[in-house]
Structures are given as C-alpha cells and as structure tokens.
Chains A and B, each alone.
Chain A
C-alpha cells in the first residue's frame, strides 16, 4: 500500500521570522499569521526541538524576546505576576519573600537543566502544556490565573480550565499567554514538592505539590496537585478531603496518598504501566506531604 516516509528530520522546515517590539505588534501579527501556521517563539527550548523533528512546521515565527513589558515580574495586590518572557532561571533565588518564593525556588531546580532554564520561560512551559512539566503542577495546585492576549483582547483563564490535555490548552491559536498570576501565599503556608524522574532533569513520571496551613493543630486549606501522571495537571479533591481538618501524621498522609493514586486516570506507556504510575503517585504524594511537616512532631 502506498505510504510516505515518516518524518526523520533534525532541521526545521522553512519559516518566515518576525521580531515585534511591542505587545500590540505581537498581537496584531499573531492575529494575521496564526491562521497561516503562525506561532509564538519565546524561550524555544520546547518548540525548537519539535520544529527540528518537523513535528511542528510553523510557517511564521513571532519572536517575542524583544517585546517590551513582557519581562515583568512583580507583585501587586497579593498576586505575583509573571510575564511571558520571564525565564525559569529567574526563580533560582526567591522572587518574593515567604512561602511562594521559596516554593518556586525549590521546584525550579527540577525543571530541565541549567542552560535550558536560562532561555526557557515559565509561560512558555505552561503554553506548551507537557503533562510532565513542573510549572503546570504549580499553576494547577495554586489555582493560577492565566492571562491570554489576542486580537479580541485580553481574557483570564483559571488554571483548572487552562490545561485541556497533553500539549493542549485553552489558548486559541491567535492568542499568546502574556502573564501567569500566582497568589502570594500567607506566611504560615507550608509546602512540599516531590518528583520522580528517570534522571535528574528528565520529565517527571509523577510529581506532587502539597500546600497547606496548620490551624489549631489540624490541616487547613489543603491543596494537593499532581503532574506527570495524567493527561493534564490538576488538584485531587479526594486526597484534599482526607487531609482537611485532620491532624498531620503518617497515617493521614498515607491515606491521602492512596486516595490520590486511586483517583487518577493514569498515563500509560511501555515503560510506565498504570499500576506503576499509581505506585509512583502514591509515593510522591506521601513524600510531598511528609516534607510539609518536616521537623514537626506527629500530632
């Protein structure tokens, strides 16, 4: 039967290149060119390899690395605003005092490798939406707000609506993710993050982010997010329910971990079957929760 050769390239297909200087120009170009296979180029650390393999063949690239104002990183009204051009490496040192800054500084060490972090962007990672990307779990767990900008103007999308599936988001093809917004967490917030990957820097096979406070000796406002295990990162209500109002302790953490493992619709591949995926989720949730209370005596 007729067939063609599978893509086996390492050099990209031809494209035309634009480098707008203002957000207005960027949005206009994206509006004009998206219907003709136009895409945004930010850090390029995810996009360029897939272009090299010709799995993506954008006819136009709109390079936003010179767009004024997209590199903003600041707090206003209790919200950390992360512009589209902010590199992963910006988070190596806490960008804000308190638990949020510390959390981002801990998580960022798991993102790829040092040179990738110097170019790649947080927003780019969110827009790329690999289910195993660390920032996706952070965004989902903290109920981030994602600001999409396009020809039709600006709109805000909740994290729970943003991640639609592997490499799929709520962004329209003519929209750019201009800003990600994370809540500055209260000072008494505790967190724990655990990830399992084959080698340091590889995509996660499972990761968990636990965020909570302790009020009067019991867990309040628990957030438990998972990534790498399903088609998209999300909070696991079943696990959070088992934590809320309970005194922190090993038994409670184990129960929450088991519930999380049971709740997932696991991603499967030849190297990670459903059972193993669940075991990894359980292990990572337990570890993340244990970290939250590291140093605390069991109640």
Chain B
C-alpha cells in the first residue's frame, strides 16, 4: 500500500497520508539515544555474570579501577542503599521477593546478570576495563525446566512464585457429559522482540534546576519517570524523561532495567553525563525474553464439535527474576485464551515459575500468541478427532455478532473482559473468500496427489487494545496558525505522530502537516500513558479528538463574534474559519485564519473580553474497558521432504480494526507483526545448554527472518465492527499481525506432512519437522 499524496482538502482521517516522521529518518537525521552526546560524558559498561546460577563470593575490581580512563567501578556494595526494581503496576506481595537488584548481591541467577558497572571516558576503554574485573562464585545447579518440580529460589521461597487461577462455569459437569475429550501437551519456545536498535540510556544531571534528564526512554515515559523518582527518593518533577527517535519497541524497550537506574545514579554521583549503549550480545541475554510456556490443555466437546469446556494448566518460564510487569503475561494468557469462541465453561491454572534464564516479560501480543497457539491447536484436534472440517468446527463455536457486547467472566490488566463489538463469522467469510478457500483446497489436494508436502492452516483470534483508564492531551494554536499537540505518548516506529496529527487535523480543520506532535517529554505534560498494549490510537487518539473539539469550539465562538455570524454557520477548512454557505473569495463570505483568532485571544488582546486567553484546550478520554479487534489468518506452507524446511507460499492476514486512522500504517503494523510471528513459529529461539549457558547470543544464532524468508503477505483490513467505546470507533492494530501466526503455521505444517496434530511445539525448525517426517516414515 502506498502513500496517498493528495488527500482531498481537509479530510485525512482514514487516509494513507505520508508519515510526518519520515523525512528526518530517510536523511539520517534521526535522534536515537546513541546519536546524542554530551561534553565530558562517561561511558558505562556492564560486567555480567558468566554463570547461570552461583553463590557470588567476590567481585574483584581493583585492577579495573586502576585501568586507563576509568573513573569508577561499582558493585552491589557501592549501591547498597538502593532497593530492587519495583513493579510498574501494583503487584501482589507474593512477588516482591523476586524482584531484580540493580547489581547482583549474593546470588547470580542468569548468564548476563549485571554484576558490576564500569564508568570510563571512552567506550573502548570501558570494555577493556570490564575485561579486568573478576567474578568469584561457586556454581550451583541451574534450574532450566519451568514445568519440573519447583525448587528453592532462596530461603523460604519457592521457584514457583505464584499460582494464578481463573475460570467460570461448570467445568467438571461438562467433561463428564462430553461426547469426546481431547488433551494436548503444547510448548511455545522462548523468543522475543529483538528490535534493531539495542537498548540505551543517557543521563544528564542539571544542577541549576536539580533535574536528572534521561534520554533513551520509550514506551511509558511518565510511569518510568515516577519509578525512577521513587527509587532515588526525589520528586517526580526532578526527573525528566526525554524521548527522541526509537528503534523499535515491541514491548521489550521501555521497561525499566538495572542499566536505566544506574546511569541516572552515576550522573548524580559522578557529576558527569553518563551514556550506556547496549551491544547486541548483551541484548540477547539481558533484555526481556518472552513467550516460553508449556500448556497441558484439554477440551470437552459434543458430537458436533461444540466446545463444552476448556481446561488448561500451564507453566510460564519467567527466568531469573520478576521484572516490572509482575504477573501481567500469565494474566493476559489466561484472560484471552478462549478467544472468539463461546467456551461455556473454562478453568485455567497458571504456574509462574522462576528459572535460571534471562528474565521474561511482555512481547507484542503477550499471552495471546501463546494462548492462540493452544486454543487453535485444540480446535484443530477436535476437527480431526470428530472427522469434521476445521472451518466448520470453528464456525460452530464462534460468538455471534448478536451476542455483543459479550462478557467473559474474566479480568486482566485491572479491567473486565467484555468484547465490545465484533462479527467474527463475517470476517471469517471475507477471509475465506479473499483467499479462495474452496479452490485452494482443491489445488492443494491436487499438488499433494503429485507428492508435494503442502497444506493450509487457519486461525481465528481476538486481540485487545485501548487500555485505559484515562489519557489527556493539550492542543494550542499559535499566531502563525501552527498547531501544537502535546501528548504523553511514545513513538516506537509505529507512526504515532502521524496518526495523532491526522485525528487533530480532521477534527480541528487544519492541514495535518501543520500539526506538531510532542511525545515522550515528561516535562511538557503532567500525565501520559506512553504507547503499549495497542492503546495509543484509542486513548491518546480519543483525548486528541476531545481537545481538538474544544479548540474548535473556542475558535468558532471567537470567530462568530468577529465575523458576526452564528457558530453553526461557520466551518474550519485548512486552518481558516469560513462561512459554510458563503465560501471565501473576492465577492464571497468573510473568513478568518486560526492564527489571527489566536492573536485575538492573546492575554493582551483588546478583544479578549472575559474569555480565558489562548486558542488552546486540554482534552481527556476515559475508558473503563478495552476494545477488542479481531482477526482471521490463513497460511499455505510447503515442506521439503528431505530437509524438513518449511516454505510459506502464501499468507493472508484479515483484521477488523473498528476504524482505521491511516490504512497504510495499519498494514505496516500487520505485515511487521506477521513476519515476527513467522520468526517465532519457524526459527527464533533462545536456547540454553544443560549448564544454563545461552546459545543464541549473536544474530547468527538467533535467526530472524530476512527479505527472502517471507511469503507474499496479503492484508485485508475491515471496519465492520467499530468500537462503541470511543467516538471514532477505533480499536487499534498494533498487535494483531502476530497473534495467531504460531497456530496457523502449525496447522499448515500438520496438513502438509499429513500428520494431524503433529506440531506441538514452536519453533518448528527444519530438524524438528524432519524428525516428524522420519517418525511417520518409520511407522
């Protein structure tokens, strides 16, 4: 999809207009944290644990301290007064003992855990000195299986940090009355977002204002600001987070890690700016991992394949500590697993287990990629057991449009799960029609008849967006007619600036290119939600819409007085207030530009009257419930009989977003998500050896898709079920590409190799596929 270069005058909402973010990015003038430097800055380099699990005896830094260019070397003893990293949202007391210290104290719990920090005048010298630090430790056996028996995390603490339970309905009765019961043991491999820009942080202390400024923030700048201030015992106003360009987030960047706190502390204590840029090896063993879950799930069905009950017990491999998300990922898994199906009875138990691996947290569609794999594998197994068509079984279980809003007796993220709107069967029909499902089946049969290992898979899912409770923005128009929109949002590459500018422009009546969007500067606005959980377009978009309506109303009221017309007779077109029935021109109606109105609203304007000065307003948007976009995805794969290699020949991603602000941006998000999903399904995995040594530590080992690994991806965006929860009907699109990909590819591989239910784990590397083929041949 390409840019709509000449949108009709004044109306850009829903159009694929060019991105405002692009011009600096294509000319190399982005401002990523690595691009920013201050005079006299120090470079921080972390010394990390080489052991997966050990009692830490001593960290010898004497030689390192004396090395050239070294200003300081810290161990836990140097920051003994600082607590471990807290959770972003209030989490149960039970999890608090599992929080990560800034630097390891008595125990090393994963390879890559920060043990010491070196501060040097140059990054190369910092690495040289880090080499000179020695770590003395006594190795302990590593815990690497989250589904095994729990063991000891510390005195009196189990590696099973928490057991979560949720459910509703009469599960036992349903299983007793079932026509058939199918049980599956499924595994999703450990993988994560791995953005192309590694993490980074640059802290600068301004003594004149007593303010610590931190660059490199992303995702949730205000929350992070609050957490940093709390950690250091400072007021929130004395910590300012500043976001520039961000090289991808996917949920990984923007949580607070030890390094973020350390650079701030060092900037304070060493009285120099401190810069830290993570390298790729570090990233792969220190930035949040995700996804690794083992599910033992079973489903009870009647003779028609209608699900009577679904029961699941799963084990989430959290890694060495519980980080800022607390138990968010297992919560999301549990709440969203039922997906688009009725599932009248449901019981799920989540074991939140600590192991000696890199800590895990949220990665795009957290809990939903995993849950979709489980749910759709179960549905496929039902179809196979009962000899029914996979699509038919799904149809029989889908929640109907007439049942909306549909309440699941579940909650997550502090809100009840209530599907706001959706016509799942309609989207299914559209997706099947778009790919030509019947014709495709015939074609695949024909090719299989000739000996090709080829098959198709389908998955249906519900995602979530628009997490509240509240967001606010401020819009002001200056004397030149230029519009500033101040948000507390975050731009991680998704086109946040453009989308917000479009909403503002459409509502206010200006050219979107004249809207300057401020994001990620915590000193420009009191409160912000950042951008995560696919919430920005709904929440910040809603607040922008609200603020723009107020500014519009203020402008029209003033213009009405100046033009001697009723406000209802006026409109704003391309930044100029005009008479609806008397367009401007030599013999036409009166008009007045917004800039001029702003001048007349200045504090010293003789025309101000009793009004509040300034053509500006704040707007707020509230949401008690999330929105629920939904999708259908279909893949066709071919398997190489000799090598087990899987080639995806075709991919269809159909998604209902309620209302799309910019279809080109939505498509970009969906395609990007699908490709990440393919990586998780086929090749990406964080592997460990039996000593807990990570094996996927370079981009050669952690294999992400390249341009030649991707199929043609068709995108079908629909707006059949706008959300009733916000005036624009937006549901959001950030995570919908990735969610069902694991499930869809698994189903397609099953069909291609002719072994229903064969795929039980991800990723399906060629070796694993070949093992399935070999087993089949041996029968």
Q: Do any CB atoms of chain A lie under 8 A from CB atoms of chain B in the complex? A: yes
Residues in A with CB closer than 8 Å to B48 are 5, 8
Asked whether B687 lies within 8 Å of A11 as measured between CB atoms, the reply is no
Nearest-neighbor residue (CB-CB) of B690 within chain A = A270
Q: In the bound complex, do residue A199 and residue B127 qualify as a contact, i.e. CB atoms below 8 Å apart?
A: no
A276 close to B50 (CB less than 8 A): no
Q: Is the CB of A11 within 8 A of B689?
A: no
When the two chains form the complex, which single residue of B136, B683, B770 contacts A199, counting CB atoms closer than 8 Å?
A: B683
Q: B531 CB to closest chain A CB, in angstroms? A: 30
Name the interface residues of A48-82: CB closer than 8 Å to any CB of B: 53-54
User: What chain B residues lie within 8 Å of A273 (beta carbons)?
Assistant: 767
CA distance A287 to B645 in the complex (A): 15
A53 — which chain B residues lie within 8 A by C-beta?
Answer: 281
Residue interface bits A64-107, CB-to-B below 8 A is 1, else 0:
00000000000000000000000000000000000000000000
A263 sits at the interface (CB 8 A): no
| B 297-314 contacts with A by CB, 8 A | none
B766–A283 CB distance below 8 A: no
- Asked whether, in the complex, the Cβ of A3 is within 8 Å of the Cβ of B136, the reply is yes
Chain B residues positioned under 8 Å from A2 (CB to CB): 134, 136
A58 to B690, CA, bound (A): 32
Q: How far is the CB of B644 from chain A (nearest CB, A)?
A: 8
- How far does the Cβ of B123 sit from chain A's closest Cβ, in whole Å? 7
Across the interface, name the chain A residue whose C-beta is closest to B112: A8
Distance from A3 Cβ to chain B, minimum over Cβ atoms (Å): 6
B105 contacts chain A at the CB level, 8 A cutoff: no
Q: Which residues of A contact B279 (CB under 8 A)?
A: 10
CB–CB B706/A199 < 8 A:
yes
- Expressed in whole angstroms, the minimum distance between the Cβ of A287 and any Cβ of chain B is 8
Q: How far is the CA of A11 from the CA of B134 in the complex (A)?
A: 19
Question: In the bound complex, do residue A199 and residue B703 qualify as a contact, i.e. CB atoms below 8 Å apart?
Answer: yes
Neighbouring A residues of B767 by C-beta, 8 Å: 271-273, 276
* List of B residues within 8 angstroms of A3 by Cβ: 50-51, 134-137
Q: Which of A9, A13, A201 contacts B706 (CB 8 A)?
A: A201
Closest to B645 in A: A196
Asked if B683 contacts A198 (CB within 8 A), the reply is: yes
Most B-side CB within 10 Å, residue of A9, A272, A286, A287:
A9
Contact (Cβ within 8 A) B706 A271 = no
A2 vs B138: C-alpha distance when bound (angstroms): 8
Residues in B neighbouring A275, C-beta threshold 8 A: 774
Say how far B777's CB is from chain A's closest CB, in angstroms: 11
Q: Which residues of A sit under 8 angstroms from B765, Cβ to Cβ?
A: 198, 271
Whether a CB of chain B sits under 8 angstroms from the CB of A6 is yes
A202 within 8 A of B: yes
What is the 8 Å Cβ interface bit string for chain A, positions 173-207, against chain B (1 contact, 0 not)? Answer: 00000000000000000000000101111110000
Q: How far is the CA of A299 from the CA of B534 in the complex (A)?
A: 63
Q: How far is the CA of A11 from the CA of B131 in the complex (A)?
A: 11
Instruction: Kindly name the residue among B51, B137, B765, B766 whose own CB sees the greatest number of chain A CB atoms within 10 A.
Output: B766
Bound: A208/B689 CA distance, A: 30
Residue interface mask B120-144, A partner, CB < 8 A = 1: 0001100110110111111100000
Contacts A2-B134, A199-B703, A276-B770 given; does A9 touch B127 at CB 8 Å: yes
Q: Is the pair B689, A270 in contact by a Cβ cutoff of 8 Å?
A: yes
A201 to B329, CA, bound (A): 35
Which residues of chain B from 83 to 134 have any CB-CB distance to chain A below 8 Å in the complex? 115, 123-124, 127-128, 130-131, 133-134
Q: A40: CB under 8 A from chain B?
A: no
**Contact partner of A8 among B137, B281, B689, B771, CB < 8 A?**
B281
Tell me, yes or no, whether A1 is within 8 Å of chain B by CB.
yes
Interface residue A292 (Cβ < 8 Å from any Cβ of B):
no
Kindly state whether residue A280 has any CB partner on chain B within 8 Å.
Answer: yes
* Residues on the B chain within 8 Å of A4, using CB: 50, 134-135
Q: What residues of chain B lie closer than 8 Å to A7, measured between beta carbons?
A: 131
- The CA-CA distance from A203 to B703 in the complex, in Å, is 12
Q: Does A279 contact B (CB under 8 A)?
A: yes
Tell me the bound Cα distance from A10 to B43 in angstroms.
Answer: 14
Q: Within 8 Å of chain A (Cβ to Cβ): is B643? A: yes
Task: Report Cα–Cα, A14/B128, bound state, in Å.
Answer: 9
Return the chain B residue nearest A272 by Cβ.
B767
A283 to B640, CA, bound (A): 10
Residue B700 lies at the interface, judged by CB distance under 8 Å to chain A: yes
Tell which of B131, B281, B689 touches A10, judged by Cβ atoms closer than 8 Å.
B281
Q: Is B166 an interface residue (CB 8 A)?
A: no
Name which residue of chain B comes closest to A287, CB basis: B642
Contacts of A9 in B (CB 8 A): 127, 130-131
B695: Cβ under 8 A from any A Cβ: yes
Q: How far is the CB of A8 from chain B (nearest CB, A)?
A: 6
Bits for A264-275, please: 1 = Cβ < 8 Å to B, else 0: 000000111101
Among B51, B130, B643, the residue within 8 A (CB) of A196 is B643
Measured in the bound complex, the distance between the Cα atoms of B329 and A146 in whole Å is 57
**CB atoms of A198 and B136 under 8 A apart:** no
CB neighbours of B645 from chain A (8 A):
196
Instruction: Give the chain B neighbours of A282 by CB distance below 8 A.
Output: 642
A281-B285 Cα distance, complex, nearest whole Å: 33
Instruction: Tell me, in angstroms, the Cα distance from A218 to B313 when the chains sit together.
Output: 63
Task: Let me know if A5 and B709 touch, CB within 8 A.
Answer: no
Q: Which residues of the partner chain B approach A13 to less than 8 Å between Cβ atoms?
A: 128
Does B138 contact A1, Cβ atoms closer than 8 Å?
yes
One digit per residue, 1 when the CB lies within 8 angstroms of any chain A CB and 0 when it does not, for chain B 42-58 equals 00000110110000000
Q: Is the C-beta of B708 less than 8 angstroms from some C-beta in chain A?
A: yes
Q: Residue of A at shortest CB range from B693?
A: A6
Identify which of A11, A272, A287 contacts B127 (C-beta below 8 A).
A11
Q: In the bound complex, how far is the Cα of B695 from the Cα of A14, in angstroms?
A: 27
Q: A3-B136, A9-B131, A199-B706 are in contact. List 18 more A-B contacts (CB 8 A).
A: A3-B135, A4-B50, A4-B134, A5-B50, A5-B135, A8-B48, A9-B127, A10-B281, A13-B128, A53-B281, A196-B766, A198-B703, A198-B765, A199-B705, A200-B706, A272-B767, A279-B774, A280-B643
List 13 A–B pairs whose Cβ atoms lie within 8 Å, in order of A's numbering: A1-B138, A5-B50, A6-B50, A8-B48, A10-B279, A196-B766, A198-B703, A202-B700, A270-B687, A271-B767, A276-B771, A279-B642, A283-B643
Please report A residues at the B interface, Cβ cutoff 8 Å.
1-11, 13-14, 53-54, 196, 198-203, 270-273, 275-276, 279-280, 282-283, 286-287
> Which 4 pairs show the lowest CB-CB distances between chains A and B?
A283-B642, A6-B50, A10-B279, A4-B134
